[in-house]
Chains A and B, each alone.
Chain A
Amino acid sequence: MYIQEQIERKYPPGDLALWIFICAELLVFAVFFAAYAFTRANNIELFNQFQATLNTDLALLNTIALLSSSYFVVSAIIAIKENKQQQSSRFLLFAILGGATFLVLKMTEYSHHMSEGINLTTNLFYMFYLSLTFFHFMHVILGVMILIVLWINTRKGTYTAEEHDGLVSGGAYWHMVDLVWLILFPLIYIMR
């Protein structure tokens, strides 16, 4: 029991393989963020000019949607630790809605850009903006799919107070998607 506790304290909760995957993902995003920042340093006027065309209100709503979704994932884990499967699945449903809201808002933003003829070749700023946000967008899609699987499993009673590693691992991935956006939001939409 003592040894087991020591092992649990040494490693993050959930599947360790998933944490290694999360680290790899974070490293890729770190490289993209650094590339954006250093490219901007050589094109400050261009980046400031076109950054001003972005909709910061939608970006704010997107941030709130992702944070709320993460909040509900944590609530779902707390509920499952109390063996309340029904409550947990309800929280997960709210988390899925948060993720879906993000996707709908981002698609609205993309369709607005497309209607204005903006694409990857428009200029250097839009090349970074579109590729970075779309790369993150793809992670949100995967994250929502994971949340749907977790929701189905929770409804089926797969997770219990004693065994809920799958839920914790899926939650950790979703939080990773969230924290990447927490850097992306000020970096691309706000910082000048």
Chain B
Amino acid sequence: MEISYRINNIIFSVLISLTLFTWLLGQTELVGDITEKLSAKTIFIILLAVAVIKVQLIGDFFMHLNSVKGFWRWIITLWVTLTGGFIAIAFLF
């Protein structure tokens, strides 16, 4: 899919919103209630999932990989799965 100004604006807005969400989650005094109700592991999984989604959006739309077929289509997905997987194992087990 060829990226247009409109799609670029939408992806950028999503990326900024997810970034602010990550930052807010890190401010425990601001989101104290949420962090008290949810376990630390759940918070970690949410943070990691948000980071993975952001990386995938950059790969798909900013790097135009959503218009590629075959091995190269999945190169960023492969990287973020590998990296996220290592981080998840280290934090959760």
Contacts and interface: CB of A to CB of B under 8 A. Distances in A.
Interface string B11-47: 0100110011011011100000000000010001001
Contacts of A70: 58, 62
Given A41-B91, A70-B62, A189-B26, A182 B54 contact: yes
Interface centre among B16, B69, B79 (most CB of A within 10 A): B79
Contact of A75 (B8, B40, B72, B86): B8
Contact of B68 (A9, A182, A187): A9
Nearest to B2: A81
Given A10-B72, A37-B87, A190 B47 contact: yes
A80 B59 CA distance: 20
Interface in A129-173: 168, 171-172
A116 B16 CA distance: 32
Nearest to B54: A182
A37 B72 contact: no
Contacts of A182: 51, 54-55, 58
Contacts of B44: 191-192
Given A12-B63, A56-B26, A78-B5, A192 B83 contact: no
B48 A186 contact: yes
A94 interface: no
Contacts of B48: 186, 191
Nearest to B61: A74
Nearest to B23: A60
Contacts, number: 129
A175 B69 CA distance: 20
A127 interface: no
Contacts of A78: 3-5, 8
Interface stretch (A26-34, A107-115, A118-126): A26-34
A68 B12 CA distance: 8
Contacts of B26: 56, 186, 189-190
A97 to B, nearest CB: 16
Given A77-B3, A189-B26, A190-B22, 4 more contacts: A12-B68, A182-B55, A186-B26, A190-B26
Interface string B71-93: 01001100110111011011100
Pairs A-B, 8 closest by C-beta atoms: A37-B90, A190-B26, A34-B86, A71-B12, A60-B23, A179-B58, A30-B83, A37-B87
A93 to B, nearest CB: 17
A132 to B, nearest CB: 13
